[in-house]
Every structure is written in structure tokens, then in C-alpha cells.
Amino acid sequence: MSKLDFTRGEIIAAKYEVVDVLEESPLGITYRVKHQKSGKFVRLTMLRPKHAGRDQKNQLLDIYRRVKDLAHPALAKIGELGEHEGVAYFTAEDFEGTTLRDLITEYRVEGKQLGVREAAQIALQMLEGMDVLHKQGFFIRGMRPEYVLVNVKRTGPRNANIVAKVKLTGSGFWDLVPAGVLAEDEFARGESQYLAPEMKSFEPVPSARADIYSTGVMFYEMLTGIAPLGTFQMPAAIRPDLPKIINEIIELALANAPDDRYQTASDFMAAIQRTMSDAEVSDDSSSRTRIWPIILGGFAIVFALTVILYLYIPGEDDGKGEKALDVVLRNDLKAKVQEKIPAQVQIEAILRNHPPNMAYIPAGPFAHGRMNYDPDRGSAEPLAEPTEVAAFVIDKFEYPNLLGAKPKNNVDYGEAEALCSEQGKRLCTNLEWEKACKGLMNAVYAYETSVPADTFDPAFCGDGLVDAGYPSGQLTSCKSSYGVYDLSGNFREWTATAPPGKEKRRYVKGGQGGKSAQATRCGSETDESSMFKDDGMSFRCCRNVDAPPYVPPAPQPAPDAPKTP
């Protein structure tokens, strides 16, 4: 057990009794603790020694001096800076509420959506807190819903109005964590959508505009229930009850280039405030929001069929009808999967029972086979059908599942199966592999940057595939929205599934240099003899969610030195 890990009832620094674990982040592990003498509850964050050790002592003290007197309602008030058995910690005020992540999930599960005023209240307070930090020279850089605490109270007739109070956690202490570590954590969680594009580069330059981008993503997610991924729809296209000016606000906040965004948090706040004063949003907007899913349920099928019949004209080959069919299928499957996605804290708990570098894939249906609009499909491929797959975890990279490592190639099926078994894993089925590749939006290719990614683009991961392959994760955009890399590129991969009536053969998925546009599609699959191997063949492993907890192998003793005569 590391020096950061504590269980309920343990004592930290001879005065704080651990009550509960609140969150784990690149900064450290945060607990709710009770001061033994005063009985007061506070939040205590044990800082990771690699970011707050002896080498960072001066930086840590400087940050503490600059944040301890910051008194803003949207910032969790910092208490003391201390040390326990050589590990630094800081305390902050306790706050009765939940995280923004849990609030968004609650609304999604209940089939509700936050009203414009509700989302604006929360976003404005987030920006107020950020503005204070930015003026002190602090940038959070890896902002996400888990780091926003929200207390919501309902008031007025039928409890239709809400009053939200917001606190940002961590304040200036985020400066201790290198930008690359924050980015790696976002990718590891499969939620890099909160990172500004410039923060995903090899030389990230932190600025207020990076935090503005993250806030824009969360504002969008509060309004629509989903985070914007790749080429996303504007909020008013998803929710017709939203003021159209919301689209302009989101477009500026989420601009790719930092210079095209709001330049300060104050600018972003002013835009939201103008919207709330100018837009004609009635006081009962929250009640209208609640009945929208009911209305939508009545009209969705009729509307979808009308669009399809309008666009799908026999003899026309522009793909409009096929795309319309895919939109209906994708939205239906996405909604069914989202209902089954656990809270982030539950996913993190699941992943702790498995070997490192594995991604969680939720239960639910996906589109198995080729999509209707799939220009590079094979002529004999069956049309996609909704197919249920249980939740599972999958290696993020090809074996040995290490970022930057050269994948093991030239392996036959038996060797791949044995190497997975040595790690307490198994080969993935062809359905698991395909679902992890297609992601939540059932993309044709595993391109995180464009969801759904229906068109082959060699710039991402299909160009120049050769037998030598490339280091795992090197092409950062060549990953699915579930955070699994190189499924549409690098080597071909074994699966555990035998084609019907061919028990001595196995389906093979993934990269193939000779015909990249067709073979790197998530739905493409061929089969090979179990004995086949060549320089272009690799694999990755899977595990059942409820598999026994992973126990790392015991370190092997060093061999005895040869005796000299």
C-alpha cells in the first residue's frame, strides 16, 4: 500500500481521521476527514510525491502562499499545508454537494436535461473561480467535471427553480502536475474531449484559453447530456428548445485555435450573461425541458422516417439516404448504451481490479457489420445489425500493451492465446474488438477526431502501414472514442472467434497495409488458419469485468553471479 492510500478510521498527521475517499486524480488522493480535536470536517488531498516531493518544495510553498488567502465563493477555501510520513498534503473546506459529473449523470439516467438557466448558473460560477486563478497566474489545464463541486437546491412553485453553488477544487496546486501527465490521465480515462487541442501536443502551452475550452465542453455537456466529440452537432440542433445564440457561444468557446476562442474567462462570462438577459427563456423552462423527452419519444420515429423518405431517392448515389439511416441507428444505439454506463467512480473502481492500461467498454448494443454509408466496404459484407455485448475491459495497445512500445508481431493464434493467459487475460472476441473500435457513435474507422468517422483519412492511421509497424500510441488520433489505440492501424490482430464451421481458423481484425481504406475499417474482418503467422500479425487481450482481481506477479530474484574458479 502506498503512502497515499488510507482506509476509513486511519489517522493522518496525528489529527485527521479518515471518513471517506472522495476522488483520485493526477494531483493525488482526496479524502473527507474529521479533525479530531475540533470535530470539523475538511477535504484533505495527499499529494503525489513525484509532483510534490523534495525537488518541488519551493514551488509547493510558493503556491500555498499565493492561494491560502484567496477567498472567492467559487473556490474551495484552502486550509493548511502539512506533511504525513514524508508525503505533503493540503486541506480545503468541506462542501455539501456532488460533483458536476454525478449531476450530469443523474439527469441523464432520469431522462431529464438541465435547463439553460441551470447550466448557465453553474458555468458562470466556474468561470468566476477560474478568472480569479488566472489573474494569479494559475491554469488548471486538465479541467473536468470531477473537479467541480455543485450544491443544488430547488425553490419556488413545484420546485421548478434551482439555486446552484459551485466550488472548484485544487486551486493553484494543479500547477504541480506537468501538462503531459494531465493529458495522459485524460487519455487513460478515455475522456480527452475536455482537453483543449493545444494541450494534446508534444509541447503544450497552458493558458486561460485552455481552461475556457474545457468549460465550453462542460457547458455543452450540461445542456445536451453528452460531451462534444470530434465533428459535433451544435446544441440547438440536439435541443430545439435552446436559444440559437447558444450555438455561437459554444462555437467560440470550442474553437480549435486558441486565438479564435474567448480570450479571458470574463469574456466568456459576459457572453453567457448577455444570452440570459436577451434570450426569451420563460421561467418554466425547466418544466418544458422535462417534458421534451416525452414529446420527442412520440415524434422521433415519425420524424426519422420522414427524413429518410425525403432524403432517400432511388437512383441517387450521393449517400444522403444512407447517412440518414445511419443517424437514426447511431442515435438509438448510443442512447441504449449511455443508460448502462456506470458513474466514473464506479468505472475507476472496476479498472483497479484489472491490469494497467486497460479501457472499460460498457454493456449494450453496437452496430455489428458495415454501416449503410460505408464507401470503402467490401461487396459481400453484411449490413450492420444491433448486437448486444456484455461489459468488458480491453488492452489500450497491442501486446505488450505499453505506450511507445513496439507491438509483438509474427505470432500465430496459439502463441497469442498463451501470452494473454500468462497475464490473466484472454483474447478478445471479434464482437468485443469491433465494439471497442467503433466507439459510442459506431464510427466506421477508429478516429477519435471525427465521430462518426465515415471516410478513410490516411493522415490518422491508415497511411504507409508496413510490416515493421510503429510504436503503440504514436499516432494520437488513431484511437476510438473509448480510448483504445491503433485498432484502425498498425498490425492485424487475432481474435478468439472462429468463423462458423471453421474451428481451425480465427477471425482477424485491424490494420492491413495493402488495402488500408477497406481493411482498417472497424467492421472489416478476414479469417486465417490458427497456425498462420507473418510480420503483420499481432494481438491484444481482453478480460471479463467480473474476472478475479489482478495480482501482479512477484518479482523474480536476480540470478546468482557465476562463481569464479
**Along the chain (565 residues), what's the average pLDDT of each consecutive run of 10 residues?**
81 94 89 93 93 88 90 90 92 90 88 86 92 90 89 70 85 84 71 82 82 94 88 87 89 90 90 66 36 37 41 46 80 88 89 95 94 81 91 97 94 97 96 95 82 76 66 88 90 95 94 78 92 93 94 71 56
Q: Determine the pLDDT at residue 306.
A: 41
Q: What pLDDT, on the 0 to 100 scale, is given for residue 393?
A: 97
Which class in CATH covers the domain with range 342-544?
Answer: alpha beta
Q: 388 forms bridges with which residues in the sheet? A: 365
Beta bridge partners of 339: none
Q: For residue 297, what is its C-alpha cell?
A: 419519444
With CA atoms as reference, report the closest residue to 73 among 164, 198, 181, 153: 164
In angstroms, the CA 440 to CA 489 distance is: 19
At 25 the pLDDT is 86
Q: Which residues neighbour 267 within 8 Å (Cβ) at sequence distance 6 or greater?
A: none
pLDDT of residue 400: 97
Q: Which three cell numbers stand for residue 76?
A: 474551495
Cell output for 96:
455539501
Task: Give the CATH number of domain 11-93.
Answer: 3.30.200.20
Output the pLDDT for position 323: 79
Boundaries of CATH 3.30.200.20 in the chain? 11-93
Does the predicted model carry a pTM greater than 0.85? no
Distance CA 512, CA 488 (A): 9
Domain with CATH 1.10.510.10 in the chain: 98-285
User: Which residues, other chains included, contact 334 with Cβ-Cβ below 8 Å and sequence gap of 6+?
Assistant: 226, 440, 441, 442
Listing from the earlier edge strand, what are the strands of the sheet with 392-395?
358-361, 392-395, 541-544, 426-427
Q: Which residues make up the CATH 3.90.1580.10 domain(s) of the chain?
A: 342-544
Compute the distance between CA of residue 194 and CA of residue 100 in angstroms, rounded to an integer: 13
CA angle 126, 129, 40 (to 5 degrees): 100
Q: Is the CATH number of domain 98-285 1.10.510.10? A: yes
Q: What are phi and psi of 29, to 5 degrees?
A: -115, 130
Query: Is the backbone of residue 317 left (phi > 0), alpha (psi -120 to 50) or beta?
Result: alpha
- pLDDT for residue 317: 45
Report the C-alpha gap between 6 and 139 in whole angstroms. 29
